[in-house]
């Protein structure tokens, strides 16, 4: 079902409200009603023309441009938030890696690799998917050793 179209009067009132001229419009409509004895409807149309109303098509085009600008702004805000979240996650991962020692005793490294939960999965199911890297890896050397084991077993990342 399509969205109900706004009336031209409603679009005009929304526009002058955004422009901060709503009170001026209300006062002018009341003044025209007193001066001419016209009803609200007739006075409203006269004041709309005085305040810049051109045609229904013009008001709808203005409304569509405003909607497009608001949607573009919302999209930009969401995109920016996603980029900031990704940047924070990358920074946190890099900070975690920077805290790891660059080297350790080979016996400790081998024991760590053998006791890693992924190695237990390999023993149970040799073609298990292996993560490319894990924040639980204790140092940079172990990361490369784990990657070598992953490659040696032919596991997918």
Question: What digits encode the pLDDT tens for the residues 107-128?
Answer: 887 787 777 777 666 666 655 4
pLDDT digits (tens, 9 = 90+) for 1-34: 445 567 888 888 888 898 888 899 899 999 999 9
Q: Who's near 21: CB < 8 A, 6+ residues apart?
A: 51
Q: CA geometry: angle at 140 spanning 127 and 157, to 5°?
A: 25
According to the model, what pLDDT value does residue 128 have?
A: 47
Q: Among all chains, which residue has been given the structure tokens 């996650």? A: 89
> What does each C-alpha distance from 55 to 12, 24, 58, 136, 142 come to in angstroms?
10, 21, 5, 66, 72
pTM: 0.44
DSSP label at residue 55: -
Determine the Cα–Cα distance for residues 49 and 16; give it in Å rounded to an integer. Answer: 12
Give the separation between CA 146 and CA 32, rounded to whole angstroms: 83
C-alpha 68/C-alpha 66 separation (Å) is 5
C-alpha triplet 108, 109, 111: angle, nearest 5°: 65
Instruction: State percent of the chain over pLDDT 70.
Output: 74
Spell out the SS3 assignment of 92-130.
Answer: HHHHHHHCCCCCCCHHHHHHHHHHCHHHHHHHHCCCCCC
């Amino acid at each position: 079902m399509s969205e109900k179209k706004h009336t031209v009067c409603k679009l005009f009132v929304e526009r002058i409200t955004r422009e901060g001229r709503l009170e001026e419009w209300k006062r002018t409509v009341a003044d025209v009603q007193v001066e001419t004895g016209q009803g609200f409807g007739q006075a409203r149309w006269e004041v709309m023309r005085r305040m810049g109303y051109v045609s229904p098509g013009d008001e709808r085009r203005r409304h569509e441009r405003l909607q497009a600008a608001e949607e573009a702004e919302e999209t930009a805000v969401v995109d920016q938030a996603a980029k900031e979240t990704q940047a924070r996650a990358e920074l946190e991962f890099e900070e975690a890696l920077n805290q790891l020692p660059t080297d350790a005793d080979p016996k400790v490294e081998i024991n760590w690799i053998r006791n890693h939960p992924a190695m237990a999965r390999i023993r149970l199911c040799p073609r298990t998917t292996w993560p490319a890297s894990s924040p639980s890896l204790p140092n940079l050397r172990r990361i490369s050793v784990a990657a070598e084991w992953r490659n040696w077993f032919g596991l997918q990342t």
